[in-house]
Every structure is written in C-alpha cells, then in structure tokens.
Amino acid sequence: MKKKVLIISANPVDLCQNNGKTLLSFFDGYDTDRIAQLYFYPTVPNTDAVQNFFRISDLDVLRKRLGRVPAAGGTVKPAAAAAVEEDEDTARMGRVKKGALMRLAREVLWKGAWKSRALDAWLDDFAPECIFFVAGDGLYTYDIFEYAKRRSGAKSIVYVTDDYILPRRTWNPVRVLRQRLTLRRMKRCVREADAFLTISEKMRRTYRDVLGKDSMLAVNMSDCLKEDDAAAAPGGGLLLTYLGGLHYNRDKTLRRLGEAVAAVNASAGTELFLEIYSNARLDDAQRAALEVPGASRFCGQVDRSGVRRKVNEADVLVHVESFLAKNVEDVLLSVSTKIPEYLSVGKPILAIGPANVASMEYLQEIACCVTDEAALEARLRLLAETPALRSELGRRAEEAYWTNHSCDVQRDRLWQLIDQL
C-alpha cells in the first residue's frame, strides 16, 4: 500500500497553472485516498487526481485578522471543469502584495493566523506519512510545513522549482532582507529533509554549493501530446506557435520575434506567422504591442485540449526568455513547464534567450537556439528555408522527451523514493 502523501504548496494540483501542472504530473494516478493537499492560492483546483484539499488564502487570513471569520481557510472540493477564477477582492490583493514591502507585511499578517482547530482536525484525520513540500519565498509556508511535520511525525521531501535565495541586483533593502530570511529558512528546511529535489541540473549544482546538500533531479514531465493524424493549421507558410506566460518580460522578446518574422518575410519572401497563446490578461495597449501586422497575433487563452491541438498544428514551437538582467535572475535556474509538452510532439523548437539560463542551457543541443538578439533574423531565415534542419530538430526533441520527461519513467522514480523513506 502506498504511503499517505500530503502536498504543501502555494498552488493546487491543477491542469492549468504551471506549478500545479508539475505537481499533477508527479501524482496523477496516485491512490486518491492516500493523497491530500494543503495550499494557499485562492482558486479551486480543476483535477480529480487529488480529492482532499485544505485551502488557506491571503483573503482568509485577512478576514480572520479583521474578526470576520473565526478561522482562516477550510476544505474545498475540486471543480468539475475549469478552475474558479479569482474574484475582484482577491485579484486586488494579488496586485497589492507584489511590492517587497507589502510582501513583508504579508508575512506579519500570516504570522500564526493560519492556525485553527479545523486545520488540526484535517491533518489528524489524514495522518500523512510523507510531506511533499514545494519550498518558495513565502516564509509562512515554512512555518506551516514544519508545524504539519511535527504534528504528524511524517517524513519529508523538499522540492524547489524556482530560485528565491540567490542575491539579486537590487538596492531595495526590504527585498534583500526577504531574500536572506528565505535563504535561512530554506537551509534549515533542506538540512532536515529526508529527501531534497530540484528542477534542473543548473539548480542542483548551484544549490549544492549554497545550501550544502546535494539533491536529486525531478524534472517537469508531460503526457505525450503527439497526435499522428493531427491536421496542419489552415493556410500556407510556416506557423510559429508560442504557448505560455508573458511575465518576466517575455512579451518583449515575443515582440522582437514578431518584428523579425515581418523582416524575414519581406526580405526572403517567406510566409512565416507567429501565434501567441497565453492566460495573461492584456489591455488594448499590451495586446497591440504583441501584434505585428502580417507577422504575429495574440490569440488569448486555450484549455488543455486546445494546447494539444495547437502544438500539433504548429510547424515550429517557440520558447522565449527575456534578455534583461533583472529577468535573467528570475529564471536563471528554472526550466519552463512548457518544454516537456513541446518536446513530446516532436516538432522543431525555436528558443530565444540568454545562453546562461537553465531552459536555454537544456535546449542548446535540442532546439534552434538564439542567444544573441542580433542573430535572430538570420537564424529564423535558416529555420524557415531548411526543412532538413526542422526535421532533425523535431527528431531530437522527441528523443529528449522519451529520455527525460516521460511520466511513466519519472513518476515511478518519485513514487519509489516515497516508498523508501
């Protein structure tokens, strides 16, 4: 019988959100009566892989502090279809807490307010044997993790997917303080963990030096999205498709790609077109900035079935990162959750971004990589005019998927680790 696993993370196991999708890939198929999740994001999960959820949100904690409710949070049931969107109060709080000072104030707000008899009863009823903790930069989440671990006596696995502890180029003393506090909490957390997982080889090497403990790799996984009988997108030419977030100034790189597409079409007579799909909410000005007439279009959000359809219709799949120094720091050690999905369909990938970030390092032998913006048009023209290159890159992509990202292989490794603790 499998061990009872409690997942503690900011986001719920989910079909849509990035970390949620990563967690789903790890635990999809796990016995539903042997898994539960405690999470802190205001949405409702939209998966049946986990049925037992306890949620505490910023708004719950605020209401507790204001005396409007006796306790913060409670159990929630997964939605039957799409995740419930944030209400306006929650969205407003999300915008407010982005500043470093407000994030520090948020820690004060949470201090002890998350404790409740309902949480204790839920933890005791589930009685986890292993806690899978996704460590981020919310200091209160470490308090909750340590509390749940003490109360249950469970073994623990600490998993890091993004970097919050390396020094940043900032003169903001509050941000520096938060980074140092997070580093201190993560060091203690990792030191006492029964297993430590990181998301990329670059993160594994870096954190081994910073935290003094080596980790195992737990890379992003994806079901194979390839459809052998998928129809090509209507129209001629070559369709480039981007699916993913626009944060960390990725939108600026996509704008530059749209301009390059227009330039190559004009000079070489090619028929390239870039389609951009994202959950991001854009105003008219932001949307217009992404759309280059005759070269690129923002197409909005697609659901899970839409993602499958779009990656199969594409001729070239696009991954981008920002070249701005502040954004390089944000993504330096992380590998995008979209990459395994891209790889699984065996299509050529055009990757644009700084050479030293983990996603670009990983793709350097697999994709057509552009690490110098000045070379973008030349590389794009080469990709458009060389079918043999596109075919070879597609072959490399599919091979990398089956070697590194197949759910069957990676999931079994994680479950065996849990069993052995």
Return the pLDDT at 235.
62
Reply yes or no on whether the pLDDT at 246 is more than 80.
yes
Return the pLDDT at 231.
63
Rounded percentage of the chain residues whose pLDDT exceeds 90: 78
- 3-state SS assignment for residue 55: strand
CA-based nearest residue to 357, from 384, 389, 395, 326 = 326
CA-based nearest residue to 221, from 10, 7, 17, 23 = 23
Full-model pTM: 0.87
CA-based nearest residue to 122, from 76, 65, 168, 173 = 76
Report the distance separating Cα 361 and Cα 294, nearest Å.
Answer: 32
Q: What is the mean pLDDT of the chain?
A: 91
CA-based nearest residue to 317, from 337, 345, 289, 291 = 345
Rounded percentage of the chain residues whose pLDDT exceeds 70: 93
- For residue range 305-359, what is the model confidence (pLDDT) as tens digits? 999 999 999 999 999 999 999 899 999 999 988 999 999 999 999 999 999 999 9
Angstrom distances, CA of residue 28 to CA of 18, 31, 95, 338: 15, 9, 32, 18
Report the distance separating Cα 257 and Cα 376, nearest Å.
Answer: 8
Pair 347, 317: CB distance under 8 Å: yes
From the DSSP assignment, how many helices (H) and strands (E) are in the chain? 17, 14
Reply yes or no on whether the pLDDT at 48 is more than 90.
no
Phi and psi, residue 146, nearest 5°? -65, -35
- For residue range 188-236, what is the model confidence (pLDDT) as tens digits? 999 999 999 999 999 999 999 999 999 999 998 888 999 987 666 566 6
Reply yes or no on whether the pLDDT at 90 is more than 70.
no
Mean pLDDT to the nearest integer, 348-374: 97
Reply yes or no on whether the pLDDT at 89 is more than 70.
no
Cβ burial of 245 (10 Å; 0-12, 13-18, 19+) is: middle
CA-based nearest residue to 164, from 205, 193, 215, 206 = 206
Tell me the chain's radius of gyration from C-alpha atoms. 22
- In which residue are the tokens 């991954």 written? 319
- 3-state SS assignment for residue 149: helix
Return the pLDDT at 147.
98
- For residue range 2-20, what is the model confidence (pLDDT) as tens digits? 999 999 999 999 876 668 8
